[in-house]
């Protein structure tokens, strides 16, 4: 169904009068910048699926292979720029007294755009973590050594991301749930609503009385439970929601 100016204006009005706004973003917002989603034609790397390599078991079995995969991903991401949707969320953060950005993306594009209060639920590809001392550091060299090691203890470094089969950081999850429970408006942008526990955050917000708005290319399993669904490109729709108030 085509969008109407009335739907856009309703969401603008909600945002303009809200003191607390939470945004949840997924792969769809970054796909418009050219970031592969690892679904469909983007789903394979040298015959492997991302779900076969982004696991603790794969890293334990063949850390060189996993690091080759992540060095390739870092090379892809290094030149990628934020798009108008990322930039509009920076402006939204500047307008709202209490703003929290929850993202499932590891590409760092929100931070590059200028967002500040970010919870990176699945980590950040530009961070590394020592498997022994757990020290986390930012490393933007491309590529990293074949098997990068910790400067503190000498053990192996791994990408500081949440792999398949791993739990989210409890502190990040707590921040995300708190932001979802306390917001007046939540925007859910570019996420298919199938990866848990992030997918359920919109329902947490809805149950607490927040207005929840979906911005996605197509309907998701939660579309019918939310207040407004805007289907189209985030880079087109999100700026419309932020401008004009």
| Segment 95-118, tens digit of pLDDT | 999 999 999 999 999 999 999 999
Range 224-243 average pLDDT? 96
Mean pLDDT of 45-70: 92
Fold of 5-35+82-122+167-242: Rossmann fold (3.40.50)
Q: Is the pTM of this model over 0.75?
A: yes
Res. 148: pLDDT tops 90? yes
Give the DSSP letter of residue 152: T
Least confident of 74-88, 90-104, 145-159, 181-195: 181-195
Looking at residue 142, its pLDDT comes to 96
At a CB cut-off of 8 Å and minimum separation 6, what does 245 contact? 12, 13, 15, 16, 95
In 3D, which of 99, 121, 159, 98 has the Cα closest to residue 25?
A: 121
Q: Which residue has the higher pLDDT, 136 or 245?
A: 136
Task: Give the active site residues.
Answer: 122
Asked whether the beta carbons of 190 and 31 are under 8 A apart, the reply is: yes
Can you tell me which residue has the tokens 């970054």? 30
Q: What is the mean pLDDT of the chain?
A: 93
Domain 40-78+131-161 part of CATH 3.30.1600.10? yes
Average pLDDT over residues 1-6: 63
Q: Cα(141)–Cα(154) distance, rounded to whole angstroms? A: 18
SS3 174: helix
pLDDT score at 228: 96
Q: What is the pLDDT of residue 36?
A: 78
Handedness of CA 187, 192, 197, 198 (dihedral sign): negative
Measured CA distances, 49 to 27, 43, 69, 73, 152 (Å): 17, 6, 10, 13, 33
Q: What is the pLDDT of residue 3?
A: 55
Domain ranges of the chain: 5-35+82-122+167-242, 40-78+131-161
Position with higher pLDDT, 194 vs 14: 14
Q: Quick check: do 5-35+82-122+167-242 and 40-78+131-161 share a fold?
A: no
* Contact by Cβ (8 Å): 234, 32: yes
Count of C-beta atoms within a 10 Å radius of residue 72: 14
Percent of the chain past pLDDT 90, that is, above it, reads 87
pLDDT score, position 1 = 44
- pLDDT for position 2: 47
Find, among 120, 179, 131, the residue nearest to 155 by Cα. Answer: 131
Residue 147 has pLDDT above 90, yes or no: yes
127-159 as b/e: b if 16+ CB within 10 A: bbbbeeeeeeeeeeeeebeeebebeeeeebbbb
Alpha helix positions (H), 23-108 = 27-31, 50-53, 56-61, 63-77, 84-95
pLDDT digits over 155-198, tens only?
999 999 999 999 999 999 999 999 999 999 999 999 987 778 88
Is 244 strand, coil or helix?
A: coil
Q: Over 80: is that where the pLDDT of 42 sits?
A: no
Distances (CA, A) of 195 to 27, 44, 61, 220, 229: 11, 19, 25, 12, 19
């Amino acid at each position: 169904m085509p969008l109407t100016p009335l739907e856009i204006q309703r969401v603008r009005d909600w945002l303009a009068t809200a003191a607390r706004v939470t945004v949840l973003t997924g792969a769809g917002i970054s796909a418009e910048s050219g970031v592969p989603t690892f679904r469909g034609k983007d789903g394979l790397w040298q015959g492997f699926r991302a779900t076969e390599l982004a696991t603790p078991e794969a890293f334990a079995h063949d850390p060189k292979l996993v690091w080759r995969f992540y060095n390739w991903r870092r090379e892809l991401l290094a030149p990628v720029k934020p798009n108008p949707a990322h930039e509009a969320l920076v402006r939204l953060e500047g307008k709202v007294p209490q703003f929290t950005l929850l993202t499932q993306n590891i590409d760092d594009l929100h931070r590059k755009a200028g967002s500040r209060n970010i919870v990176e639920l699945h980590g950040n590809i530009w961070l590394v973590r020592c498997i022994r001392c757990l020290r986390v550091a930012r490393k933007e060299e491309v590529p990293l050594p074949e098997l990068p090691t910790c400067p503190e203890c000498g053990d192996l470094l791994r990408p500081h991301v949440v792999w398949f089969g791993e739990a989210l950081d409890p502190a990040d999850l707590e921040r995300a749930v708190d932001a979802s429970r306390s917001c007046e408006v939540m925007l859910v942008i570019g996420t298919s609503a199938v990866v848990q526990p992030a997918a359920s955050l919109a329902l947490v917000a809805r149950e607490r009385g927040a207005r929840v708005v979906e911005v996605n290319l197509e309907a998701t399993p939660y579309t019918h439970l939310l207040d407004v669904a805007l289907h189209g490109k985030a880079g087109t729709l999100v700026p419309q929601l932020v401008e004009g108030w």
